[in-house]
Amino acid sequence: MLVLTAGLWCSLHVQTDATMHTAALFAHLASLVLGFGAVLSADYYGLLWATRRCTLAEVLGATSRLHVPIWAGLGGLVLSGLMLHPDMDSPLTLTKLGLVAALTLNGLQAGLLARRLEAGAEMINPRLLLWGGATALVSQACWWGAVVIGFLNSNT
């Protein structure tokens, strides 16, 4: 959270020219494709497991390889977004920042869930299933919410 706060402070005090703004926008969109695409892939594997089309071991293997692109995409979104001069007086922007903070915290706890699942892959209990489902729902809500807000902000 300290990094997000420092980044917001910088975004309010550092000016970028039109070329840098265009580059930041491209980086923002590329990071969205990388991060959100990896999240969608991870959740797809979860759905495959839930419908008994693959094993939990396959899901854990696939999702563990997706952590790097997910975090790289999220980091790229945050860094490039700071150069896009967010309107800190806009309730939509503040909501988007809250979604990004929630997404970051959700990602951290998802790592704990993954370690717990890997440790006892044979003993999946209802509590772990609920935890996994809630993690996926929060992730999807935050990613889609931030995408919609970004779209709305780009058209105002």
For residue 155, CA distances in Å to 6, 65, 149, 150 come to 27, 35, 10, 9
Over range 78-86, report the average pLDDT: 88
| Triad 13, 142, 109: Cα angle to 5° | 95
The confidence score (pLDDT) of residue 74 equals 94
Q: Answer whether residue 9 shows pLDDT above 80.
A: no
Residue with the bigger pLDDT between 26 and 2: it is 26
Q: How many CB atoms lie within 10 A of CB 37?
A: 14
Task: Give me the half-sphere count of Cα atoms (radius 13 Å) on the Cβ side of residue 112.
Answer: 7
| Triad 66, 38, 33: Cα angle to 5° | 140
The confidence score (pLDDT) of residue 72 equals 97
